[in-house]
Structure 1
């Protein structure tokens, strides 16, 4: 078929019906009518509700990825914030715990210092306040080092007290520090007095290595000693003032093979953690001097000198 013979007219399907302009007028008027009717009488509200109900599952499915992204982002943000707050809370808790420990330590130290001041007022003799620097390095002895020495007029043999009782005795004096042998040392002995009965005896340090107690020796099996008896210094040695608390009887063992009882005592002083102490001048100052300085020098006889 030649090109000139082609029919260029529109098909009959598109030539039927109203024109485009008529459709525009009709649908415009219908739109205005529906808008006015909806504004006045809400005629389209049921239709909207039905359409919204029908489309809700589609909307819910379409919004799930958005909710998932938001939830994951919120989860990680909240997790990071929670971890940060937890770390800050732990840091504050550690700081508060440290401060609470320091406050409790300061309160204990304050109470001990108050007791030391009260004990200092009760003693009618000069005393020197000192502080324990460190323990002696020898593991077979129970000794500590205090920060007072010859420069502060610390005398050899001076009793050392804490707020609870007799802690020990100065056994070596250096220019700036002094060595104190504790009452629980096996080489130290203290004359004591039983407050309940008035009986005198001698308390020794625990003979076992690293011992932390005391032993009341040379007490007969029939001696009147009970658990809980308080032992104080008797003052007969001329070194320790009388009436200072030393130890308390903790256990008594009666042995059939011996005429003496084995009596264990617990020291009243804090032998394992004392920090602030006072050094008391010996009752008899001559007893704190070496024997060579106490005995008078004997002049040499003429004729016998060589």
Structure 2
């Protein structure tokens, strides 16, 4: 029988279903719908929390070899470093003892002055230690994941600091983990205070340069290279006085009403492993007083008018 007369159409049992183009169009539309729904309606947030909870034991298991290798290398190389650190710690301890004695005197004087001026005492901020598990795989964001979540009392918006300064803020909370947006992320914003001039401003993340930018400052603003910026505490989130960044460059252009101010973050954003999660200041403040009811005579007079 000639080969051209054979029927090359596969029987119904071996047919593959929809065409490749149909599947591409369907899954593209589904992906677009999920992105819009997650961005606008936050419908995928519960599913993301469930997936994060289910994958948490697997992530912990996969991190064990990495942590073991890192810990082993630190153990083999740590003896000399430990001795040098001990000598440095003894020297710093002597310096700190002198500074501590002066600090206690200043605290007592500050308390007396606050009593004289009837100022409110600073609100104590509760903190919780956490460990950075891994960086987010998204190349367009600067975020890390820590090993504390809803079960440990972490709330969304909590500042995150290390031993040098602020590194970011909790933006997503899962049952066992939390996502921290670093200060250099494109969506990061933090109110700051120039410790030299006491002028407040707002710093924005600049991921292209790996730093921050102090925006909307007039060209004649008193800002110099080397100025240190700390949290202002006026937003009800960050406690005041936490180190944030240092001014590295100030550009004043004649064609713009605002100066271009580049900042270098103080915190160890790329290498921080152990951090502190600070409770937002607004949660520690007392509730606002309820308005007092108006007297009955005042209400009757208002009705008569």
- TM bin, normalised by shorter chain, reads 0.5 to 0.7
Match of residue 220 from structure 1: 218
Rate the CA distance shift 1:232–1:148 in 2: closer, same or farther, 3 A: same
1:168 aligned to 2:168?
yes
Between 1:250-259 and 1:169-178, the stretch displaced more is 250-259
Q: Once superposed, what is the RMSD of the aligned Cα atoms? A: 3.2
Q: Which blocks of at least 5 consecutive residues in structure 1 are unaligned?
A: 1-94, 288-306
Match of residue 244 from structure 1: 242
Provide the C-alpha distance between the structure 2 equivalents of 1:281 and 1:223, rounded to a whole number of angstroms.
Answer: 33
The alpha-carbon deviation at position 285 of structure 1 amounts to: 2.8
**Structure 2 counterpart of 1:100, from 58, 77, 80:** 77
Match of residue 155 from structure 1: 155
Match of residue 264 from structure 1: 262
Provide the C-alpha distance between the structure 1 equivalents of 2:184 and 2:161, rounded to a whole number of angstroms.
Answer: 14
Counterparts of 1:36-115 in structure 2, within 5 Å, are 99-100=76-77, 104=81
Provide the C-alpha distance between the structure 2 equivalents of 1:195 and 1:286, rounded to a whole number of angstroms.
Answer: 25
The alpha-carbon deviation at position 253 of structure 1 amounts to: 1.0
The alpha-carbon deviation at position 269 of structure 1 amounts to: 0.2
Contact 2:125 2:239 in 1 (8 A): no
The alpha-carbon deviation at position 254 of structure 1 amounts to: 1.2
Contact 2:125 2:284 in 1 (8 A): no
Provide the C-alpha distance between the structure 2 equivalents of 1:105 and 1:184, rounded to a whole number of angstroms.
Answer: 32
The alpha-carbon deviation at position 207 of structure 1 amounts to: 4.7
Rate the CA distance shift 1:105–1:134 in 2: closer, same or farther, 3 A: farther
The alpha-carbon deviation at position 126 of structure 1 amounts to: 1.4
Rate the CA distance shift 1:148–1:224 in 2: closer, same or farther, 3 A: same
Q: Which blocks of at least 5 consecutive residues in structure 2 are unaligned?
A: 1-71, 94-99, 101-121, 286-305
Rate the CA distance shift 1:259–1:143 in 2: closer, same or farther, 3 A: same
Secondary structure in structure 2 of the residue aligned to 1:167: strand
Contact 2:189 2:202 in 1 (8 A): yes
Between 1:215-224 and 1:199-208, the stretch displaced more is 199-208
**Structure 1 length as normaliser, TM-score?**
0.55
Contact 2:159 2:170 in 1 (8 A): yes
Counterparts of 1:141-152 in structure 2, within 5 Å, are 141-152=141-152
